[in-house]
Structure 1
Amino acid sequence: MSSGGSGEPTDRDRDAVGRARNERPRDRLGRPLPRGVPGVPRQPEGVARSPEQTLLEAQRLLDDGMPFHAHEVLEDAWKAAPEATRGLWKGLAQLAVGATHAARGNVAGAVALLRRGADHIEPYRDEPPHGIDVTGLLRWARDHATAVEAGADQLPVPRLRGAG
């Protein structure tokens, strides 16, 4: 156990500069599991990937039913992206979080993040970078936000680059 700012012990893991880093194992949807219980491998943070590598890894994780982990990969791209594409990567990460909330049964979170993610990627619709199917993702996000509101509990996997 580490000590929080109040001097009281906490069970939060901290990095060398005191930022919270939860090292507990996680399930396929990113939910923390009790210590000592096997979880799925975590995505390392801060990995520098090319846009191609990012999209391939994120799609693999989405296809494997791990949207939370895909969000972590997309979040690395968002944090490292040049200003011109930062909103795109942020929106893609939010779509993955929206899919995570939907899979966890959090309707309000799913709807909010799917719509917010769509709003962030929409400016890239006319000239989508890196072969991203922005138009298809907009349709997917908006249709599925409505479906989740209506009671759907499972979303089809989004295709970052369309059907290909």
Structure 2
Amino acid sequence: MTNADASDARDRSRDRDVDGRARNARPRDGLGRPLPYGAEGVPRQPEGLVRTPRETVAEAQALLTQGRPFHAHEVFEDAWKSGPPEERTLWRGLAQLAVGLTHVARGNTRGGTRLLRRGARAVEEWQAGRGEDRPYGMDLPGLTRWAGELAGRVEHGSAPVDARAEAPRLRP
């Protein structure tokens, strides 16, 4: 079998969506980790949904409260990709905060703290450019404070953390 034949065989065996794009159909746990085929996972977030900003915040908060930050990150990612260009930094930063929590909950201290800090910087950058602390009712100063405090605690030995117990409140 040539390398091309092997590649074709791998491509045919991959999970695909209705448009033929590669999509891993394995179930996932609440932190987004793939589980074996046939295992019971948590419901996945549909990709590519366009929500209003307030719907995005409400859906992401519900997922964070359930201890599912990976899935909240996907909701924020949809807003980042479909929202107006002037809000992309905000939604990207929020997605990074959620995936940072995902990583520290999985025990990845280094990657998690980097993402928490990167997300906080993005949110602060967006906020500084707008002078707006509470877009869509969110408490941006509180979120950046939460991210810094969590990153500091994790760096000093408290990883992994409980994603549900550490979930931020997006709105005061």
Instruction: Call closer, same or farther: CA 1:4–1:12 in 2, change over 3 Å.
Output: farther
Q: Shift of the alpha carbon at 1:16?
A: 4.7
1:135 and 2:137 matched: no
What is the letter of the counterpart of residue 156 of structure 2?
A
Aligned to 2:150: 144
Q: CA RMSD in A?
A: 1.9
The structure, 1 or 2, with the larger RCO (C-alpha pairs under 8 Å, 6+ apart) is: 2
Inter-partner Cα distance in structure 2 for 1:4 and 1:134: 51
Moved more, 6-15 or 63-72: 6-15
Runs of 4+ in 1 over 4 A off after TM superposition: none
Q: TM-score, with normalisation over the residues of structure 1?
A: 0.90
Q: Which has the larger radius of gyration?
A: 2
- In the TM superposition, residue 5 of structure 1 has moved relative to its aligned partner by 8.3
| Structure (1/2) with the larger strand percentage | 1
| 1:151 Cα offset (Å) | 1.1
Which is richer in helix?
Answer: 2
Q: How many residues align?
A: 160
Return the offset for 1:6: 2.6
- Sequence identity percentage: 58
Q: 1:99 aligns with which of 98, 101, 120?
A: 101
Q: Secondary structure at the match of 1:6?
A: helix
Q: C-alpha distance in 2, partners of 1:135/1:9?
A: 47
Alpha-carbon offset, residue 15 of structure 1: 3.0
Counterpart among 89, 104, 118 of residue 87 in structure 1: 89
SS in 2 for 1:9: helix
Counterparts of residues 21-36 of structure 1 (less than 5 Å): 21-36=23-38
Unpaired runs of 5+ residues, structure 1, are: none
Alignment gaps of 5+ in structure 2:
none
Once the 2 structures are TM-superposed, how far is the Cα of residue 20 of structure 1 from its aligned partner?
A: 2.1
Partner of 1:6: 7
3-state SS of paired residue (1:61): helix
